[in-house]
C-alpha cells in the first residue's frame, strides 16, 4: 500500500511557497509512487503555476497530486502517514488533534526555508517535542551533505542538456514567447522584487558595446522597469529599446517553461527560493534577489550562500561576483559592479556549471525526505 503524504502550503509571498511545495508534491508522486495531498490556502497563486487547475475546486487532481483547498472552515479528514508543514505554517488545530489520536503515529515534518547558514546543519533532523505530546521534526533544504539537499527531478539535468544541444528547440521555445532576439545579443532573464537598484543596472546594459535583450516575466519588478522607461505602459509581449538594451515583458509562464527560459539565457536574475534553486540547475551565472527580512537578517543568509558559492573562483572573479550581489541587495549602484563582472564572464560561466555538478552529486530533497521517512519507520 502506498504511503500517504499531506503537504500544507500557506501562500505568503506570491509564488515562492506554492512553487516549492507544488514541485515537491509532483516529484513525490512521479518518482516515489506516493499518495500526495497538497493543501493550499490560495488557489489563485496555484493556478498561475498550473494553468489546468480549477481555482474554484475544493478537490482536484493535477499531475497525479490531489490538490485540496485549505479553507478557514476545516473539515475532518484522515491524517496521512507523513505530514509536512511547509515553511513553519500552522496546521489546522483539528488536524493536529487528529494526529495526536491517530492509532499509529504520523511523521510530522517542518520543511523549513533554504539557507546556507552554518547552524542549519546542526538543526536539520532535530525533533521538537510539542505540548500535546507530538513531535515535529525540522527538515532543512541546503547545500551540504548534512542538510536535506535541493529539489531536483531525476531527469532535470538530462532534459537541460538535450535542450541546450537542440538549437531548434530553443528557438521554437523563444518564438512561442514572442522573443525575436537579434543575432549576438546577450539574453538575460529578470525575475525580482521591487528594487531601486534596477535603474543603474539598466543604464549599464543600455550603454554596453554588446546588445542585451532583457526578458522580464510578469511580476513585482515591472513598476521599477516602467519608471526607468519613462512610464511607458509596457504590456505583455511588448518591447522597448534604449541604446544597446531591448526590454521585453513576458507572460507569466508555468514552472517547466520557466526552466526553459533559464536554460535559454546567458544570465539569470532570480528571486526568493524556487527560482533561485532552478537558476542554479541552469548552470549559468546568476544574481539572487533575496527576500527582505527585518533588521537586515537576509544579508546574513546572502553572505552565507556566497561563502559557499565562491569557493574555487579567482580572487578577482570572486570580488566581482560578490560586489554585484551586494549592490543588488543593498541598494548600491549596479553599473560599475556589472561591468566588473563582465570582465570575468568565462570563468564565472564555467564556475556555474561546476557548482551545478557539485550540488547534483548530493541526494535531492524529495529523495532525502523519503529516505528520512523509511529510516523513521
What is the DSSP track for 133-154? S-EEEEE---SSTTS------T
pLDDT (0 to 100) of residue 13:
65
Decide: 24 and 151 in contact? Cβ < 8 Å.
yes
- State the residue range of the domain holding 25: 4-151+363-372
| pLDDT (tens digit per residue) in 203-225 | 999 999 999 999 999 889 999 99
Residue 102 lies in a domain: yes
pLDDT (0 to 100) of residue 219:
87
Looking at the chain, the whole-number percentage of residues with pLDDT higher than 70 is 99
Which is nearest to 62 in space by CA: 21, 90, 97? 21
Q: Is the dihedral of CA 282, 283, 284, 286 positive or negative?
A: positive
Same domain, yes or no: 102 and 207: no
Decide: 84 and 8 in contact? Cβ < 8 Å.
yes
Query: Average pLDDT of the chain?
Result: 95
Query: What are the catalytic residues?
Result: 17, 273
Same domain, yes or no: 134 and 180: no
Same domain, yes or no: 97 and 222: no
Q: For residue 302, give the CATH number of its domain.
A: 3.40.50.2000
User: Listing from the earlier edge strand, what are the strands of the sheet with 212-217?
Assistant: 239-242, 245-250, 212-217, 186-190, 267-271, 286-289
C-alpha Rg value of the chain to the nearest Å: 21
C-alpha cell at 31: 518518482
Same domain, yes or no: 145 and 182: no
Same domain, yes or no: 178 and 213: yes
Q: For residue 67, give the CATH number of its domain.
A: 3.40.50
Collapse the DSSP code of 288 into the 3-class scheme (helix H, G, I; strand E, B; otherwise coil) and give the result: strand
Given a cut of 80, whether residue 152 has pLDDT beyond it is yes
- Contacts (Cβ under 8 Å, ≥6 apart) of 345: 285
Same domain, yes or no: 54 and 78: yes
Which is nearest to 60 in space by CA: 52, 256, 34? 52
Given a cut of 80, whether residue 36 has pLDDT beyond it is yes
Same domain, yes or no: 216 and 276: yes
Same domain, yes or no: 206 and 329: yes
How many structural domains does the chain have?
2
pLDDT band, residue 14 (cuts 50/70/90)? low
Amino acid at each position: 500500500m502506498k504511503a500517504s503524504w499531506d503537504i500544507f502550503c500557506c501562500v505568503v509571498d506570491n509564488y515562492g511557497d506554492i512553487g516549492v511545495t507544488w514541485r515537491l508534491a509532483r516529484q513525490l508522486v512521479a518518482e516515489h509512487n506516493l499518495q500526495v495531498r497538497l493543501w493550499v490556502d490560495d488557489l489563485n497563486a496555484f493556478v498561475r503555476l498550473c494553468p489546468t487547475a480549477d481555482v474554484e475546486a475544493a478537490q482536484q487532481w493535477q499531475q497525479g497530486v490531489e490538490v485540496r483547498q485549505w479553507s478557514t472552515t476545516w473539515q475532518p479528514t484522515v491524517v496521512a502517514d507523513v505530514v509536512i508543514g511547509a515553511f513553519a505554517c500552522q496546521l489546522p488545530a483539528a488536524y493536529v488533534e487528529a494526529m495526536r489520536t491517530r492509532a499509529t503515529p504520523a511523521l510530522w515534518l517542518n520543511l523549513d526555508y533554504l539557507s546556507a547558514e552554518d547552524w542549519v546543519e546542526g538543526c536539520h533532523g532535530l525533533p521538537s517535542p510539542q505540548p500535546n505530546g507530538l513531535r515535529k521534526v525540522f527538515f532543512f533544504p541546503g547545500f551540504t551533505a548534512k542538510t536535506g539537499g535541493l529539489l531536483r527531478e531525476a531527469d532535470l539535468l538530462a532534459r537541460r542538456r538535450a535542450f541546450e544541444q537542440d538549437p531548434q528547440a530553443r528557438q521554437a521555445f523563444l518564438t512561442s514567447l514572442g522573443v525575436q532576439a537579434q543575432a549576438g545579443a546577450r539574453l538575460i532573464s529578470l525575475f525580482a522584487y521591487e528594487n531601486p537598484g534596477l535603474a543603474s543596472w539598466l543604464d549599464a546594459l543600455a550603454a554596453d558595446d554588446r546588445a542585451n535583450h532583457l526578458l522580464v516575466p510578469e511580476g513585482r519588478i515591472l513598476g521599477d522597469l516602467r519608471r526607468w522607461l519613462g512610464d511607458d505602459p509596457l504590456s505583455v509581449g511588448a518591447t522597448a529599446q534604449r541604446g544597446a538594451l531591448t526590454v521585453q515583458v513576458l507572460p507569466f509562464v508555468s514552472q517547466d517553461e520557466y526552466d526553459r527560459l533559464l536554460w535559454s539565457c546567458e544570465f539569470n536574475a532570480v528571486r526568493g527560493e524556487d527560482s533561485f534553486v532552478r537558476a542554479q540547475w541552469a548552470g549559468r551565472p546568476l544574481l539572487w534577489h533575496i527576500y527582505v527580512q527585518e533588521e537586515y537578517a537576509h544579508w546574513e543568509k546572502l553572505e552565507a550562500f556566497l561563502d559557499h558559492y565562491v569557493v574555487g573562483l579567482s580572487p578577482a572573479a570572486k570580488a566581482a561576483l560578490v560586489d554585484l550581489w551586494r549592490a543588488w541587495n543593498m541598494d548600491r549602484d549596479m553599473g560599475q559592479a556589472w561591468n566588473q563582472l563582465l570582465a570575468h564572464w568565462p570563468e564565472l560561466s564555467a564556475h556555474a556549471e561546476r557548482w551545478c555538478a557539485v550540488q547534483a552529486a548530493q541526494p535531492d530533497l524529495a529523495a532525502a525526505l523519503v529516505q528520512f521517512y523509511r529510516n523513521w519507520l
